[in-house]
Copies of this chain bind each other. A is one copy, B any other.
């Protein structure tokens, strides 16, 4: 790495900090048991998640006006429910399911690693998620963020350049004093374009046991680590 000292570290959140798939499957399975519903929740969650990238990209390409992630998932949820025999859910139940992103659990190493990094650096999520979702998730999972940064502040979704440039401006740091940590190569490519430092953390089961993408770093990122404990050590914490 070059000579400028790192001051702040921003994190892709869903997949990098939070184990969203396992959290949601467990949450929905519990909901199904309470409600007497027999559903293949893994298939349900995998199909639901497919709405994410096309929704973001519709906003990024100007096909949709600014649309919150909460809305993108709700549209897909409403579309899917009948197919899974869930067309009769109440509005209250639908809101409960759609807000599962507020109740996610972190990977086992996330909170302890962030706590170590916070001692020396400013730490923040840099997520496509809505601000209120990140706030509620942070309280629920006891994440020790110093500040919350997200797409909604800039009204642009990753990998639009406004996200990294906005974080650099708000944190008021030189680009190379800011590091992005992500389990996704595409996130890191965008960060490097803007002169930021990069750390790849392997999360080989983010998409379940048969994940095919992002198993390995695709460029020579500044740090490659298997978890946040290794990351914290590599950053002198």
Contacts and interface: CB of A to CB of B under 8 A. Distances in A.
B153 A146 contact: no
Nearest to A148: B147
B138 A146 contact: yes
Contacts of A139: 122, 146
A30 interface: no
Interface residues of A, number: 18
A132 interface: yes
A135 interface: yes
Contacts of A136: 122
A51 interface: no
Interface in A149-198: 152-153, 170-173
Given A152-B170, A153-B153, A170-B152, A122 B135 contact: yes
Contacts of A148: 147-148
Copies per complex of this chain: 2
A154 to B, nearest CB: 10
Contacts of A130: 172
Interface secondary structure of A, over-half rule: helix
Nearest to A139: B146
A131 interface: yes
A173 B147 CA distance: 20
Contacts of A152: 170
Contacts of A153: 153, 170
A152 B122 CA distance: 18
Contacts of A135: 122, 146-147, 171
A139 B136 CA distance: 21
A135 B171 CA distance: 8
B132 A171 contact: yes
Nearest to A122: B135
Contacts of A138: 146-147
A99 B146 CA distance: 19
Contact of A147 (B131, B170, B172): B131
Interface string A11-42: 00000000000000000000000000000000
11 contacts: A122-B136, A130-B172, A131-B147, A132-B173, A135-B146, A138-B146, A138-B147, A147-B147, A147-B148, A152-B170, A153-B153
